[in-house]
Amino acid sequence: MTTIGHLINGEIVNEGSRSQDVFNPATGKAEKQVLLASKQTVEQAIACAEAAFPEWRNTPAIKRARVMFRFKELLEQHADHICKLIGQEHGKISHDAAGELQRGIENVEFACGAPQLLKGEHSRNVGPGIDSWSEFQPLGVVAGITPFNFPAMVPMWMFPLAIVCGNTFILKPSERDPSSTLYIAQLLKEAGLPDGVLNVINGDKEAVDTLLTDQRIKAVSFVGSTPIAEYIYATANANGKRCQALGGAKNHAIVMPDADMDNAVNQLLGAAFGSSGERCMALSVAVAVGDEAGDALVAKMQNAMTGLSVGAYDNASNDFGPVITCQHKDKVNGFISSAEQQGATIVVDGRNPEVEGYDNGYFVGATLIDGVTPEMDSYKAEIFGPVLQVVRVKTMQEAMKLIDDHEYGNGTCIFTRDGEAARYFSDHIQVGMVGINVPLPVPVAYHSFGGWKRSLFGDLHAYGPDGVRFYTKRKTITQRWPSSGVREGVSFAFPS
């Protein structure tokens, strides 16, 4: 059985008395083991990152960027292998993994623009003969703690930008599917990154808590569930670090009566069931305004869903794969059952699908539930499975209130043709990422990603311009030269 270790100071290190199985969720078999770093191993990585910092910080931004240019090439060359590693451990279908990887690469592309992004502001003559300017200097050693659902993309929201800004980095990926992350980190070494600038630590709470409390770590980026995000944010702050912690979501789409319904259904299919719904931007609630829209939506969705197929990662004709663990499968099924018990209608039931040849896989089929109400457990929680729930309301105002009342505020969408409705919605809705006829309004890499309310803890969003600001600290310099000795002295020195 393969053992997955750590990347410290440019070398694979197989340290750790503790380990954990890594499963193939399509087969339910443990095919690898991942080592869980001890406090000492993490501290060793931090020490290496700290040692690498002074030289990396002094390396001109354009030279740091050139490592990213080469990294992008390598990621593209080795895309198939990365997608395979993702599929084996996460279960997502190859085309979905390729999409994830592409989104990650886009963050590398953005990082290549570091010299432009790091420019400070220069003011001549803030007073007579006095100039002032700002510099955005790196923080030092920073850490990223990332979730299982995007083992390639989410880490690449963080470390390329942090590193290109001059920081050194400790990445702790999810212990459920660490291989693709580790492989990607090795490509960055191959791209020319000096040893110690990026280190990958596999581990569990011991590793996390070491990162959160060690005084040498200056900042932490986290993506995961809201309760953990809240813990990470509080602990990191209490230990003098800056932190951005992204949590859970419950993303609603409003379907207006004037929506292009075929388009809406087509978009919702991918947004609700893609990656088995294990995305913090998955669209899990459709809010139909008016029963006419609601009836049409449910009928067309039901019809469209008959074509969906669930299965293993390496069959590209599958639409989505298993969920991540057996326990998670049970949890998703439980939410479907609870909705049923609490009065909703299971229009399409994805519980316990048959997937030939994969009897032990953690599969849940695409599920459509109508008649959901805000009181139901399945509405309140983030299910993180291939389940689309339909809530019916009478007015757009009612739909917006529903969204604003939910604790999460990550993404949302409206389907309409009407300019005014779209503008009113995007202006007022209390959600950080808004789509207009775009069901997964994930900002492109040169904008920034972040929810509102309890979906994000911190001032600055992830990646893009906010990411640059997060990974740098502002220094403001004010300069006056007190006398003109040299300049005028010369004049005195040669009086004729």
Q: Does 238 interact with its own copies (rule: CB under 8 A)?
A: yes
Q: What is the dihedral of CA 80, 177, 107, 385, to 10 degrees?
A: 100
161: alpha, beta or left? (left if phi > 0; alpha if psi -120 to 50): alpha
Torsion of CA 187, 188, 193, 198, to 10 degrees: -120
Q: By rule CB under 8 A, what count of residues binds its own copies?
A: 117
Q: Do residues 451 and 465 touch, judged by C-beta distance below 8 A?
A: no
Evaluated on CA atoms 327, 332, 333, 339, the torsion sign reads positive
- Minimum Å gap between C-beta 52 and its own copies is 17
Rule CB under 8 A: is residue 128 a binding residue for its own copies?
Answer: yes
Determine whether 326 is an active site residue: no
Amino acid (1-letter code) at residue 83: C
Output 140 or 203, the one with its CB closest to its own copies: 140
The nearest distance, CB 253 to its own copies, in angstroms, is 13
CB of 433 to its own copies, least distance (A): 5
Sign of dihedral through CA atoms 455, 459, 461, 462? negative
3 contacts its own copies (rule: CB under 8 A): no
Tell me the sheet residues that pair with 232.
none
**461 contributes a contact to its own copies by CB under 8 A:** yes
Residue 194, interface with its own copies (CB under 8 A)? no
Tell me how far CA of residue 417 lies from CA of 241, 261, 411, 420, in angstroms.
Answer: 45, 11, 20, 9
Query: Which is nearer to its own copies, 150 or 233 (by Cβ)?
Result: 233
252 binds its own copies (CB under 8 A): no
If the CB atoms of residues 34 and 414 are measured against its own copies, the closer one turns out to be: 414
Q: Which CB sits closer to its own copies, 306 or 483?
A: 483
Count CB atoms within 10 A of the CB of residue 102.
Answer: 14
399 token code pair: 């739909």
Residue 121 interacts with its own copies (CB under 8 A): yes or no: yes
Residue pair 350/388 in contact (Cβ under 8 Å)? The answer is no
- Map the footprint of its own copies across residues 48-87, applying CB under 8 A: 58-62, 65-66, 69, 72-73
Choose which of 155, 274, 350, 441 interacts with its own copies (CB under 8 A): 441
Please, what is the minimum distance in Å from the beta carbon of residue 181 to its own copies?
23
Q: Name the residue nearer to its own copies (CB basis): 133 or 325.
A: 133
Where in 401-430 is the site for its own copies (CB under 8 A)?
415-424, 426-427
Active site residues: 280
